[in-house]
Amino acid sequence: MNKYLDISPEVREALANGRPVVALESTIISHGMPYPQNVETALRVEKTIRENGAVPATIAVIGGRLKAGLSEAEIEYLGKKGRGVAKASRRDLPVLVAGGRDGATTVTTTMIIASMAGIKVFATGGIGGVHRGAETTMDISADLEELAQTPVMVICAGAKSILDLGLTLEYLETKGVPVIGYGTDELPAFYTRRSGFKVDYRLDTPEEVAAAFRAKLDMGLHGGMLVTNPIPEEYSMDPERINAAIDEAVAEAAQKGIKGKETTPFLLARIKDITGGDSLASNIQLVLNNARLASAVAKCLANG
């Protein structure tokens, strides 16, 4: 057991008894939505996982401790503190832990802490990737490197459509990360169901997804697996409308000189404003959809 890691009693008991557990990130709480909607959404996602037969493990860094499984009070704390909580990627963990600080975990750090705890399935909204213009800025999310080395399955609604999706897929291919389309041959683009880019493989049931990941682990292959789950049709946004909003937000970020880890929160906030809040409503629904699928896959893995 890692000496910096705290596993909640509920999660610890589930893991000890071979019950399905689903990891959840905390950046969506502190950096993804305003209070109290962020707390309400986090608790709603946890409830959805429980209703679907699994145990939620929301992950964060609180007071320098790596947390796998948060109490409602801890989720409330992160929600109220908001952007006062550091957005924690791999590079930040040593300083946050040594200094007794708080951190909201990204896809990267959620994977790291989940793996430390023995959790194999993680549900999120969308992963980071290769940013537009990365051929000159070198702005590439650490999420892609983590997928290449940490044995956790990430279930998401595709890469965020603020990214260069083609280059993101190329990067994942280079790193040997399988990109699975759940019930689709095409990479979902977060707010919309289609991107025009093909995934590596289409799998249509939780059993098939679990079997593929189990085989990967059994063969001792490094890294995780990316399962892309399209946003439900009724919540999918019009591609022209959302792409226009993205283009406007990207241009504004460039004009203001926003770079690095501040880019994604800025773009998502601006897209929400430009779409009159519709993008946030879609974001919530796709996270719930991913939580349901993650619960089903985690149950298949637990059942062997």
Domains of the chain: 1-118 (3.40.1790.10), 120-304 (3.40.1790.10)
Q: Contact at 8 Å (CB) between 4 and 97?
A: yes
Out of 242-246, 276-280, 288-292, pick the least confident. Answer: 276-280
Using a pLDDT cut of 70, give the percent of the chain over it. Answer: 99
Using a pLDDT cut of 90, give the percent of the chain over it. Answer: 73
CA distance 95 to 131: 26
Closest CA to 22 of 155, 127, 122: 122
Mean pLDDT throughout 80-95?
A: 96
Q: Contact at 8 Å (CB) between 11 and 57?
A: yes
Considering only residues 265 and 148, tell me which one the structure prediction assigns the higher pLDDT. Answer: 148
Instruction: Reply yes or no on whether 160 is catalytic.
Output: yes
Mean pLDDT throughout 112-135?
A: 92
Q: Which residues pair with 104 in a beta bridge?
A: 60, 87
**Would you place residue 2 in the very low, low, confident or very high pLDDT band (cuts 50, 70, 90)?**
confident
Please give the pLDDT value at position 11. Answer: 98
| Average pLDDT of the chain to the nearest whole number | 93
Give how far Cα 279 sits from Cα of 107, 119, 231, Å. 20, 30, 12
Give how far Cα 266 sits from Cα of 211, 236, 257, 260, 279, Å. 38, 22, 11, 11, 14
Q: Which residues pair with 127 in a beta bridge?
A: 159
Please give the pLDDT value at position 75. Answer: 98
Instruction: Reply yes or no on whether 25 is catalytic.
Output: yes
Mean pLDDT throughout 66-81?
A: 98
CA distance 265 to 292: 25
CA distance 192 to 79: 27
Phi, psi of 77, deg, nearest 5: -60, -50
Which position among 67, 87, 160, 272 bears the catalytic label?
Answer: 160
The pTM assigned to this predicted structure is 0.92
| Per-residue DSSP letter, 130 | B
Q: Where are the alpha helices (DSSP H) in 52-194?
A: 72-81, 93-98, 107-117, 134-137, 142-149, 165-174
**Would you place residue 117 in the very low, low, confident or very high pLDDT band (cuts 50, 70, 90)?**
very high
Model confidence at 1: pLDDT above 70 = no
Angle between helix 37-51 and helix 278-302 axes, rounded to 10 deg:
30
Q: Contact at 8 Å (CB) between 23 and 123?
A: yes
